[in-house]
Structure 1
Amino acid sequence: MYEILHTKAPEDELNFYLSYAKKEYKILEMMCGSGRFLLPFIEHGFDISGVDNSIFMLEKLKEKEPNAKIMQSDVLDFFTHERFDYIFISSGSICLISDVNECKEFLKKLKSFLVKGGRLVFALDTIATKCKDDEDYKISVSVKTKQNFDLFLKSKNHYDELTKTQFSPSIYELYDKDKLLKSETMDFKIHLYDLKEIKNILQELDFECFFIYSSFDKRIAKDDTSEMFLCECIN
């Protein structure tokens, strides 16, 4: 389903991450998935490496670009002696690290991978995107596969105000007309951020300076009404 729905990176988001890249930079994309951002960086001639925990996503990436420099690892366990000029995490993927203390340690580690003056850039989902609670599973996405099967994603949501965690347990179902061929569950949860929380985290990590934007054209975030924060942190 991911491959069907996300064949290419959104142009505005891609251009936002490309705006920080230079040909002489050593670049790292964490949580790179199947490469919808990493591959355009390669096409533009940038020196980029990628890390992701999913063997299946990385296999898809390798099908598209066999020479891509990628590493399979749980990002919380990942370590490298290399140092990078620019590290980025796209599409709010960092919110999948729903334990805030783990996320702080992760950001601290990424900071240590940067050269002096290097940039860490990442996107966050905000509390403005929290969903109303659902009683039952509802079809949230449906697509046709190459085999003309119907693939459905059924989800229900619960938002915990205390921890700012969005719980969205989900079920994938694959149908051939009315016949259920396969089903698979997913325990999906993300942490949603407010502006004060992410400011406090970045101050605690002691970056040389940082900026928090509310849009891809780099407007400074002023409140919690934005559906995303884009963080630019300078080491």
Structure 2
Amino acid sequence: MNIKNYYGSLCTEMYEILHDKAPQDELDFYLSYAGKNKKILEIMCGSGRFLVPFLEHGYDIRGIDFSVEMLEKLKQKAPEADVEYADFAEYTTDEQFDYIFISSGSVSLFTDMILCQKILKKIKGMLTPAGQFVFAVDTIADKCQDNDDYEMSVSVKMKNGLDLVLKTKNYFDVQRQIQFSPGIYELYDGGRLLKSEYMDFQTHLYKFGEMEGYLREAGFAEISTYSSFEKETAINDCCEMFLFECKL
């Protein structure tokens, strides 16, 4: 399946090895907005490294993701989890939520800015009047050094003894602020290649003040921008991630 930013089978296996649990500071940040009386939605929930701890804390949470492979991993961890397979760009519902979040800078995966703005407006319409939308994006400080050829990026050993390798190359489009980082996942048994999987990975890297304009256009009235999970106020582009707390 050659879809931009789709997490396929080999990508999912590597993700589970490298990111099986959420970093505690990031998890605490998203948990700080939760409440037992709140209806919560995690968009792009992936394999559940945030959603599962929310469930373990007793919160009423639903997840949505577009990767069958990632959702299968989630259901293995939490068979009772309320999750939906859906492309959020096409997703519709009449339900409203008290708290919606998108973790790990995943909003940056929406590189079509017109589509991104439509998604922000959709999320605004899914919130209760007192609801909150919390998310993160990558910044231009996080751009990679350009390289024309695929180079070894990560190599991990799987439980079955096979080696899983990721090779990537990078190009940053300055005008569109898009980081292109196509990758090739390769599964090896010794020196024998068993399977390969291509990933067309792209992210939009944000400048300070850019997302705030999109959020205001979407109808959010109260917007706080942080540079860390400790909720330090962002003042420039030097941080690698912007975190947003949005209210109607």
Which amino acid is 2:229 matched to? F
Cα deviation, residue 94, structure 1: 1.1
Find 1:135's aligned residue among 145, 148, 152.
148
**Secondary structure of 1:42's match?**
helix
Give the gaps of 5 or more residues in structure 2: 1-13
Whether the aligned pair in 1 keeps the contact of 2:223 and 2:247 (CA below 8 Å) is: yes
Tell me what 2:39 maps to: 26
Whether the aligned pair in 1 keeps the contact of 2:121 and 2:219 (CA below 8 Å) is: no
In 2, the alpha carbon distance for the partners of 1:19 and 1:186 equals 34
Relative to the length of structure 1, the TM-score reads 0.98
Find 2:233's aligned residue among 209, 220, 226.
220
Cα deviation, 1:111-169, whole Å, max 9, x if unaligned, reads 10000020000010000001111021111111001111111000000000000000011
Cα deviation, residue 183, structure 1: 1.0
In 1, the alpha carbon distance for the partners of 2:195 and 2:67 equals 21
Which amino acid is 1:117 matched to? A
Alignment of 1:138-217 (within 5 A): 138-217=151-230
**Secondary structure of 1:56's match?**
helix
**Secondary structure of 1:106's match?**
helix
In 1, the alpha carbon distance for the partners of 2:174 and 2:72 equals 37
Tell me what 1:121 maps to: 134
In 2, the alpha carbon distance for the partners of 1:25 and 1:196 equals 30
Which amino acid is 1:17 matched to? Y
Q: CA RMSD in A?
A: 0.8
Cα deviation, 1:57-97, whole Å, max 9, x if unaligned, reads 11111111111000110010111111100000000111111
Cα deviation, residue 220, structure 1: 0.7
Whether the aligned pair in 1 keeps the contact of 2:124 and 2:219 (CA below 8 Å) is: no
Find 2:244's aligned residue among 217, 231, 235.
231
Which amino acid is 1:143 matched to? V
Which amino acid is 1:208 matched to? A
* Higher mean C-alpha deviation, range 168-177 or range 16-25: 168-177
| Runs of 4+ deviating beyond 3 Å | none
Cα deviation, residue 203, structure 1: 2.0
1:106 aligns with 2:106: no
Cα deviation, residue 24, structure 1: 0.1
Tell me what 2:103 maps to: 90
Cα deviation, residue 101, structure 1: 1.1
In 2, the alpha carbon distance for the partners of 1:206 and 1:79 equals 18
Which amino acid is 1:181 matched to? L
Highest RCO, 1 vs 2 (Cα 8 Å, sep ≥ 6): 2
**Secondary structure of 1:212's match?**
strand
In 2, the alpha carbon distance for the partners of 1:214 and 1:23 equals 27
In 2, the alpha carbon distance for the partners of 1:86 and 1:99 equals 25
Cα deviation, residue 182, structure 1: 1.1
Which amino acid is 2:119 matched to? F
**Secondary structure of 2:88's match?**
coil
Aligned residues: 235
Relative to the length of structure 2, the TM-score reads 0.93
Find 1:60's aligned residue among 67, 73, 76.
73
Which amino acid is 2:88 matched to? V
